[in-house]
Amino acid sequence: MANADESLYNVLMNGIIKDINDAWDRKSYRATLILVYIGIDAMAHLTMPAEKEKVTRTDFVAWTERYLRFRNAERQPTLAVPGLELYAARCAMVHTYSSEADLHKAGQVKRQIGYGDEFLPEVAEKADVENLVMLSIRGLVDAFGRGVVATIQDIKHDEARRQLFAGRLEKMVHELPFIAAA
């Protein structure tokens, strides 16, 4: 078994983060989005309460609201995107490759999320378009990366959370060298 630092590097840095940035570098923007949303799912899984075994909407929303921060969001509240809106966007993209999820259809989430490659501010909305918010894909990638770092910093000094995180990380997909038998 790998140690916790090796797993952290293999799964998060050389896995999820690298794959997201590789997709971005190839200008595969929809793949980038899907990988970010999968990455958020993974982080929500790693940080969900100890008694839970399956990540849920609640965990996804909790992780995004605690850790996913767009540039300047503290100074400009309009740059914050509610976790439930991000969850709906994730469901729409991952399940139907669209921008409308069941949460939108049920009226639980009003705004759909649209995307552009790279712009500032990273979250944009127009007063005359009330059901749409635009996200910079690059901004979302960067916010996710900062969220991963903030998560790691948070658990660093909490031994129980660190052990739980490490145990869950160990069970995630690792990239291992394959050496064919001669």
CA 89, CA 41: separation in Å to the nearest integer? 13
In this prediction, residue 152 carries a pLDDT of 93
SS3 sequence of 103-168: HHHCCCCCCEEEEECCCCCCEECCCCCCCEEEEEHHHHHHHHHHHHHHHHHHHHCCHHHHHHHHHH
What's the pLDDT score for residue 53? Answer: 93
pLDDT 10s per residue in the chain (182 long)? 457 778 888 889 889 999 999 999 999 999 999 999 999 999 999 999 999 999 999 999 999 999 999 987 777 776 789 999 999 999 999 999 999 999 999 999 999 999 999 998 899 888 788 899 999 999 999 999 999 999 999 998 899 999 999 999 989 988 877 777 76
Q: Using CB atoms within 10 A of its CB, is residue 19 exposed (0-12), middle (13-18) or buried (19+)? A: middle
Which pLDDT does position 54 carry in this prediction?
96
**Confidence (pLDDT) at 38:** 97
Nearest to 89 by CA among 128, 126, 36: 36
Domain ranges of the chain: 4-170
For residue 157 the two structure tokens come to 């000094």
Q: Confirm if 62 and 41 have CB atoms less than 8 A apart.
A: no
* 8 A C-beta contact, residue 147 and residue 69: yes
| pLDDT for residue 1 | 42
Q: Please tell me the predicted confidence (pLDDT) of residue 2.
A: 56
